[in-house]
Chain A
Amino acid sequence: MISLKSAIKNSKAYLCLECGKCTSVCPVSKFNKGFSPRVLVNRTLRYSENDILTNKNIWACLTCAMCDLRCPADIAYIDLTQATRLEAQKLGEEAICSHGGAAQAMMRIMTATNLQQKRMDWVDNDLKVAEKGEVLYFVGCLPHFDILFSDKGVHTIRNAKSSVKILNYLGITPAVMPQERCCGHDLLWSGDMENFKKLAEYNINEIKKTGAKKVVFSCPEGYRTFKIDYPKYFDVDFEVQHITELLRDAINEGKLKFREIDKVITFQDPCRLGRHLGIYDAPRKVLSSIQKLKLTEMQRSKKRAVCCGVSAWMNCSFYSKRIQMLRLKEAKETGAELFVLSCPKCEIHFNCAMKEEEARDDIKIPTEQLVTFVADALT
């Protein structure tokens, strides 16, 4: 495993200039004055390992990578955070999990290889899926979140349905694995390396069995995990692609036809897709190819997009709500009628914030996922 020292080396944390730009852009620090990435880096470098590993603030980071982008010394702060959390977990430190740790418990349960999951109920009759195939659609936790967060009025399973609909439209019958497991993203970021590896290994083996050459994701977190984290620990011999990239390619080839939609929308860049992987243009290209649709950008968009306030089901707090309300306000201020998102978690978090008691009308805006929006616009 990576020790803290090598993590400092790899993330180049030793280059820290203590300029404090990370803290100045950090959405958590904006509201939680006790949290500062600069101080955390400083403590990592100057104090004993124990000091940083037992610091509760390492769990409060959203890993939204805003600081990474802003850092003049190019320190990979989120990599450092990931490593620190893994080390802290070894010491017995634990993340403060939201929803009572239900999500994490569910993911750990999934590590049992002998479970016969029934996760294919969502596949309607008009959707074509296969057991094997060149292209695989990775569903992720969408069916589970659909149950967990039905009370928030968010139906994440629609993402899966729409994604398959889009793939079918393009003439692809995607393989979908009935025994697929969670990608492990949340376990990895909450410091549980062992169970993350188990899930990763299981998924890679299952994908091999389907013979897929390309795996398509609708969830940015799964995409990031497969693209960046899996290859760190395992051999990955298939291509991964986010559905917006696939859509963009299809549009360039002229394969997609949309009906006109007379609407003003705004788009949220999820941090995993945006700052982590640098995909800003593909979703915008897709949206702009729908006629009459007007995309207005928020005050802060693309690289500067504000995170949805919670990551990896950890540390949902008063501060998260403040961040979400700030972002919703920005979305509302654009005058858009619809807030288009491309991460299921963003949708859950923003809808949760809108259900808060103190939420006023100036932050209430209907949300929709990019895939469902696009799938509905297909002619």
Chain B
Amino acid sequence: MASKKSKSSKTTGSDSSIQDFLNEKGVTIQFPEICDSFPIQEITMSSCRVACPAGVNIKAYLGAITRGDFQRALEIVKETNPLPGICGRVCTHPCESECRRGEFEDPLAICALKRFIADYELKNGSKNIEPCKRTKKENVAIVGSGPAGLTSANDLVRMGYGVTIFEELPVAGGMLITGIPPYRLPRDIIQAEIDNIVKLGVELKTNTKVDNIDDLFKQGYKAVFLAIGAHEGLKLKVPGEDEYEGIVDCIKFLRKVNRGERDKPGERIIVIGGGNSAIDSARSALRLGCSEVYIVYRRSRKEMPANEDEIKEAEAEGVKINYLAAPVRIIGKDDKVTGMECTKMKLGEPDQSGRRRPIPIPSSEFVVEADTILSAISQKPYISCFKDCGIKITKWDTFEVNEKTLMTSKPGVFAGGDAVTGPSTVIDAIAAGHRAAHAIDRYICGKPLEKEKSPEIVQRELTPDTFSPERATRLKAKKIPIEKREDSFAEVELTLNEDEAVREAKRCLRCGPCVECIHCIKECEKRMFGISTDKGKELLMVHGLPKNIKLTEEVSAMLNVKGKVAAEVRIEPIVSEVSEEMCRGCGQCESVCNYSAIKVEEKEDGLRIAHVDAAICKGCGTCASVCPTGASHLSLFKSKDIEKELEGFFG
């Protein structure tokens, strides 16, 4: 695999990355003697994290799961994703498509693992959530309580702002609660995660429709984030669409079902479209007792945007899918729909989206009989009420925003999520929420909205030829049997148990040299570092750094703070114990060893651990200087090691 192009515009969500922190402080660290001895200077990311729109630190939390530290795993997820339980169920998991293990066999079940840790918290009772401390006097209004709105609320309230979410419906959750049926995403999960965010101090106003943004500014809000989603179904634009009764927009249908109404729409149903809402509608219809459900999709299965798993489940439950077929006109009698004429399609050249364009095959029309047609082709935001507020609207009826800052044409008004992109995924909405929160923070603080270019992410090349891990089969989450699914909106997929989760997480290859878990700094008392200004008094603290930093022994390291060379910096030399637990198998030591004494070996349980050949090692210490976790040190020539050698000899 060729090395990927960097994604420089990525958001990492919270300020947990030390590199971000150091960049923001204008700090670069240089070692006069050994330039590469400071690991944090070159943070490279694993492919799964690059793939995740929200930049969830996947490798780190999988690592925490393998150690059985589920609480810590959840903390890591929540740094970048405040809705782990929801994402663990409905995420399209682009991370899994990029998983390096996927190049040899099935990728890791990252999504199921995220769900596991979220469920683990629910099962074992979440920690008491304390309201965030209000440190800033400004208030921010967020319109819409979907994933984008919730995420930005979560970020902003943690930054210290006052946050109010306005929700038109009586319940919060947006498309999560109105669009996704409970057999995929139980209501209590949504409620619990929203509660967690509300507990942080977010004010949630349901049943409150926002018509005029200027009113919000008058009420004292300094910034507004429009995360209204895309709830208005698009027209089919075929003859007969407006003539007959029985053509229903799938969003309206799902909203009814999700509100708890259980009237069946008809007997024979056609669902038009190939997205997740089409599949959701079809499976919901089956559950309501409809005898036959067809999906009509104009491309082939390969191009279908719905999750592969969902399609499989739908087919298993009895949904019939007509691929390469498109509606031509609606047929009806006595104002009622009786069927739909379709035409067969073939695939032509790829279009802008990269999918092959469907082309109708002439005179291949056929009729599908039905009494109800659910249109699930796409949605757009209900944008009419914002048209007069001085916000530019695109030709697709979405908000026009600056791609990087998410600000609309009206200063102080930001927009994101489906309202900007059109219907998209939950994780994209979460990413938009993060970006909006950061932009709003910068807007309120009067900083330039666009962040400086973050460092490029370099990926190591890794091909099956150079590296082939031991095979380990992907765990499949259990599901409730198909017979039990009729009439029931109970959740289909079940959560993993603890053993399964640990086993699955151990399949992770831990690509990339550092997991950025910041454990090295948080946990390791020896390897602390801090930065003091040229006055030598004020101590800049890196996130999670212990306070007694000044007591550490000093080692020569030069540090540039905004161009000035500060001599007060103290960085502890790498003196940690050799520890298998600490070794991440990154192989940096292997690459620097002048004597080829170090080999990274894979152990039985799939962990990669560096092994030093004591017979060749000269004890020069170069490996210790590059070890990012401090696992490698001058292990030879110590009493303990000599004893170990003796014990090894005599068995």
Contacts and interface: CB of A to CB of B under 8 A. Distances in A.
Interface in B637-651: 639, 643
A191 B198 CA distance: 55
Contacts of A101: 643
A97 to B, nearest CB: 10
Contacts, number: 3
A374 B48 CA distance: 80
A100 interface: yes
Contacts of B643: 100-101
Interface residues of B, number: 2
Of the four ranges (under 10, 10 to 19, 20 to 34, 35 or more), the interface on chain A belongs to under 10
A101 B639 CA distance: 10
Contacts of B639: 100
A101 B642 CA distance: 13
B637 to A, nearest CB: 14
Interface string A73-104: 00000000000000000000000000011000
A100 B641 CA distance: 12
A304 to B, nearest CB: 35
A100 B643 CA distance: 9
A100 B639 CA distance: 7
Nearest to B642: A100
A277 B131 CA distance: 59
A372 to B, nearest CB: 34
Interface string B625-646: 0000000000000010001000
Interface in B574-593: none
A106 B154 CA distance: 64
B646 to A, nearest CB: 11
Interface string A331-370: 0000000000000000000000000000000000000000
B649 to A, nearest CB: 15
A101 B643 CA distance: 10
Contacts of A100: 639, 643
A98 to B, nearest CB: 11
A370 B639 CA distance: 37
Interface string B281-297: 00000000000000000
A100 B642 CA distance: 11
Nearest to B639: A100
A101 B646 CA distance: 14
A352 B643 CA distance: 25
A59 B288 CA distance: 68
A74 to B, nearest CB: 39
A208 B306 CA distance: 88
A106 B643 CA distance: 15
B525 to A, nearest CB: 12
A185 B643 CA distance: 23
B626 to A, nearest CB: 30
A342 to B, nearest CB: 33
B552 to A, nearest CB: 18
A100 B640 CA distance: 9
A101 B647 CA distance: 14
Interface in A92-131: 100-101
A302 B643 CA distance: 41
Interface string B21-32: 000000000000
A370 B450 CA distance: 83
Nearest to B640: A100
A93 to B, nearest CB: 15
Nearest to A100: B639
A89 to B, nearest CB: 16
A39 B157 CA distance: 40
A81 to B, nearest CB: 24
Interface in B585-644: 639, 643
B370 to A, nearest CB: 63
A79 to B, nearest CB: 30
A331 to B, nearest CB: 33
A33 to B, nearest CB: 14
A94 B534 CA distance: 48
B581 to A, nearest CB: 15
A287 B459 CA distance: 80
B20 to A, nearest CB: 36
Interface string B562-583: 0000000000000000000000
A307 B495 CA distance: 58
Interface string B183-212: 000000000000000000000000000000
Interface string A202-227: 00000000000000000000000000
B639 to A, nearest CB: 6
Nearest to A101: B643
B548 to A, nearest CB: 14
A258 B643 CA distance: 51
A314 B349 CA distance: 79
A317 B643 CA distance: 20
Interface in B128-144: none
A161 B643 CA distance: 36
B34 to A, nearest CB: 31
A224 B643 CA distance: 32
A30 to B, nearest CB: 21
A317 to B, nearest CB: 15
A84 to B, nearest CB: 24
A15 to B, nearest CB: 34
Interface string B303-324: 0000000000000000000000
A101 B334 CA distance: 99
A94 B121 CA distance: 37
A285 B308 CA distance: 93
A120 to B, nearest CB: 31
Interface string A251-295: 000000000000000000000000000000000000000000000
B68 to A, nearest CB: 14
A378 to B, nearest CB: 45
A176 B52 CA distance: 80
A148 to B, nearest CB: 17
A306 B181 CA distance: 73
A223 to B, nearest CB: 32
A100 B646 CA distance: 13
B551 to A, nearest CB: 15
B414 to A, nearest CB: 51
B608 to A, nearest CB: 26
3 contacts: A100-B639, A100-B643, A101-B643
Q: What 3 A-B pairs come out closest when comparing CB atoms?
A: A100-B639, A101-B643, A100-B643
Interface of A: 100-101
